[in-house]
Amino acid sequence: MGRLLYAVHAYAWMSRWTEESLPLLSRARELGFDAIEIPLMDIESVHPQSIRKEAERLGLRIVTSTVLSEETDVSSPDAAVRRKGLEYLKRCVDVSAEMGALSFSGVIYSALGKRIATIPGQEYLERAAEALKKVAQWARDAQLLVGIEPVNRYETFLINTCDQALELLRMIDEPNMRIHLDSYHMNIEENDFYTPTKKAIPYLCHYHLSESHRGIPGTGTVDWEGIFRALAEGDYRGVVGMESFAEVSDSMRAGTCVWRKMAPSSDVLLKEGLAFLKTLEKRHFAPSGGKK
């Protein structure tokens, strides 16, 4: 068994989680994944007990994620919007804990896709930190990790880089608040892959190992050697995941902007990508499980 737990995002197959999505847990297991990432954007359609029961039957771990909208933006100047965002994030924590998730993460600090007229001032970070501190405290009793995911400039104005996520983390100052990296976004925003990965490792709860075009890992421009070298040197033991898209529905294209077929099928993309990533792990991590 390897040192890393490999997760697959359910969006590899669908654009909205419902009870009919439950067989995807078995599909993920059959493809060789250790965990599945459940999206909580349509939280009322997520039934945590049935997910937990099926995951336990399969020996599959669970992680969850979401993004905020302009109606739930915890960095908003509008106190009513911030309150609604806090309530939503607490609900996500409750649902995640009920399904036995290891972590809950995503764009949980501002509205996805929101644009502002200038470079954001410190007040945006302060408002986000105030809310996320309460979310982390809410999650603490459930022993749930909460992760901040930096995403690219076209998807958020607030947290684009690992260093910005670390700054927000320091402001929140809660032990279960962590970082969730994504190499697709890093390919746009970071100067390299090794340095931010190494910085994040003490706080890392999840890592989307996504190619530069969100296709099969190993076929784009991501520096996979740099990422895995940093993970091995930092002795990371935790969840990494594939958030890649081949079969994308019309309702999802607005969010992922996938306009061409990235692989013959999702299963082909996932199978080939997982094999590539596990080869990197084997090369960079010593057989004994120690650092190379």
Which tens digits make up the pLDDT trace of 194-216?
999 999 999 999 999 999 999 99
Residue 292 lies in a domain: no
Q: What is the reported pLDDT for 1?
A: 47
Number of domains in the chain: 1
Residue 75 lies in a domain: yes
Q: Per the structure block, which two tokens stand in for 234?
A: 């930092």
Contact 98, 151 (CB under 8 A): no
Residue 289 lies in a domain: no
Q: What is the reported pLDDT for 264?
A: 87
Residue 21 lies in a domain: yes
CA atoms within 13 A on the CB side of 77: 5
Report DSSP state, residue 120.
P
d(CA 48, CA 111): 25
Res 55 pLDDT > 80: yes
Give the residue numbers annotated as catalytic, written as ranges.
Answer: 149, 243
Query: What pLDDT, in 10s, does the model give residues 143-192?
Result: 999 999 999 999 999 999 999 999 999 999 999 999 999 999 999 999 99
d(CA 78, CA 245): 35
Residue 291 lies in a domain: no
Query: What confidence category does residue 3 fall into, taking pLDDT thresholds of 50, 70 and 90?
Result: confident
Q: Give the mean pLDDT of 53-60.
A: 98
Q: Per the structure block, which two tokens stand in for 198?
A: 């190494």
Q: What is the reported pLDDT for 207?
A: 98
Q: Which range marks the domain in which residue 119 is found?
A: 5-284
Residue 290 lies in a domain: no
Query: What confidence category does residue 255 fall into, taking pLDDT thresholds of 50, 70 and 90?
Result: low
Res 113 pLDDT > 80: yes
The answer, as to whether pTM is greater than 0.85, is yes
Q: What is the reported pLDDT for 16?
A: 86
CATH number reported for the structural domain that contains residue 154 in this entry: 3.20.20.150
Q: Give the mean pLDDT of 129-138.
A: 98
Residue 54 lies in a domain: yes
